[in-house]
Structure 1
Amino acid sequence: MGSMEMENLHDSYKYSGFWIRMVATLIDSVLMMLITMPLLYSIYGTSYFDSAGAFLGVPDLLISYVFPISVTILFWVYKSATPGKMAMKLKVVDAKTGNPPSIQQSIIRYVGYFVAFIPLFLGVIWIAWDRKKQGWHDKMAGTVVIRAQNNVVEDVDFSEA
């Protein structure tokens, strides 16, 4: 991205805070459940929902884990947002350039969610206090979540390392 494009990006966007990102995550979770639950039900019936096991076989692995991970990463790479983030007009971008995240950044960001959630969600709640509104997963991946300037409070500065 050229310096003029970076200036325009800086003038047009703000960092996106905790609550708006939480709403986007809830939208994504509901949408994913609307897709995966009927598929799991069609394969396993009600026994899937009564099972105490974390993994019921290859279809469960593919539908419950591989599909959500793959879809999320593909949305970040190709659209800079999941459907929930799109609905809230948010974008996940590289913190230094403002470009869409790379596949590597997206994978690191996804894995970073686990790191962020393990200590009582502290790494996600961190978004509320961080100057750039980054969770630990964002810091690990070198990404930020941004929104049109008139909708949030924090200025975006892609020139900082």
Structure 2
Amino acid sequence: MKETQNHGYKLASKGKRFIASIIESVLFILATLIIYSILGISISEYWNSEFELIEIGYSAIIGLIVGAIFFPIFIGTLGHKIFNLKVISTETGEDYNRAKKGAIRECLKYVLAYFLIPVIWILWDNNNQNLYDKLTKTIVVEKNRNE
């Protein structure tokens, strides 16, 4: 398997990105279920509710919040931190660690998740990028040992 280098970093594999995303999603679902439980909303209501268009707006807001919080701390998401990954600019190679930039990237990620093609874009992309990575000009890489 060919290892791709970008700005001195090894490109994160599709598999590692997928697992990081799954782990992060599970953690967020657990947090959501805890919040629903505290608010007195049953789990069956949560799972069986029908999709409403406003949910895309909620996802955008959550994405903005998550990105603004985690990118300055982890240079990526919680899943990236767990798997020793980070997000960098494709143009400069600099860490993508600004709250505003992280908020925009995660907002795009959460909203585009409602449409299948942007999320599975990574399957045929040579740089293991999703569409939101392309739009924000970012790549996910493995952190170097000294980071």
By the TM > 0.5 criterion, same fold?
A: yes
* Per-residue deviation, 1:21: 0.8
Q: 1:19 aligns with which of 15, 26, 49?
A: 15
Q: 1:77 aligns with which of 58, 64, 72?
A: 72
Q: Which has the larger radius of gyration?
A: 1
Change in CA separation of 1:80 and 1:149 when aligned onto 2, cut-off 3 Å: closer
State the distance in 2 between where 1:32 and 1:42 align. 15
Q: 1:42 aligns with which of 38, 41, 61?
A: 38
Change in CA separation of 1:126 and 1:45 when aligned onto 2, cut-off 3 Å: closer
Question: What secondary structure does 2:95 align onto?
Answer: coil
Change in CA separation of 1:92 and 1:130 when aligned onto 2, cut-off 3 Å: same
* Structure 2 unmatched ranges of 5 or more: 1-5
Question: What secondary structure does 2:7 align onto?
Answer: helix
* Structure 1 unmatched ranges of 5 or more: 1-8, 56-60, 151-161
Q: Once superposed, which parts of structure 1, at least 4 consecutive aligned residues long, lie more than 6 Å away?
A: none
Mapping for residues 87-102 of structure 1, pairs under 5 Å: 87-101=82-96, 102=98
Amino acid at match of 1:70: I
* In the alignment, structure 1 residue 141 sits paired with structure 2 residue 136: yes
Give the equivalent residue in structure 2 for 1:122: 117
Give the equivalent residue in structure 1 for 2:3: none
* Per-residue deviation, 1:145: 0.4
**TM-score when scaled to structure 1?**
0.66
Q: Tell me how many residue pairs correspond in the alignment.
A: 133
Give the equivalent residue in structure 2 for 1:5: none
Give the equivalent residue in structure 2 for 1:10: 7
State the distance in 1 between where 2:47 and 2:121 align. 35
Seq. identity, %: 27
State the distance in 1 between where 2:114 and 2:46 align. 24
Question: What secondary structure does 2:94 align onto?
Answer: coil
Query: In 2, are the aligned partners of 1:116 and 1:136 still within 8 Å (CA)?
Result: no
Change in CA separation of 1:110 and 1:80 when aligned onto 2, cut-off 3 Å: same
Give the equivalent residue in structure 2 for 1:109: 105
State the distance in 2 between where 1:66 and 1:116 align. 14
State the distance in 1 between where 2:48 and 2:34 align. 16
* Per-residue deviation, 1:68: 5.7
* Per-residue deviation, 1:53: 5.1
Query: In 1, are the aligned partners of 2:12 and 2:140 still within 8 Å (CA)?
Result: yes
Query: In 2, are the aligned partners of 1:138 and 1:144 still within 8 Å (CA)?
Result: yes
Higher relative contact order (CA 8 A, sep 6+): 1
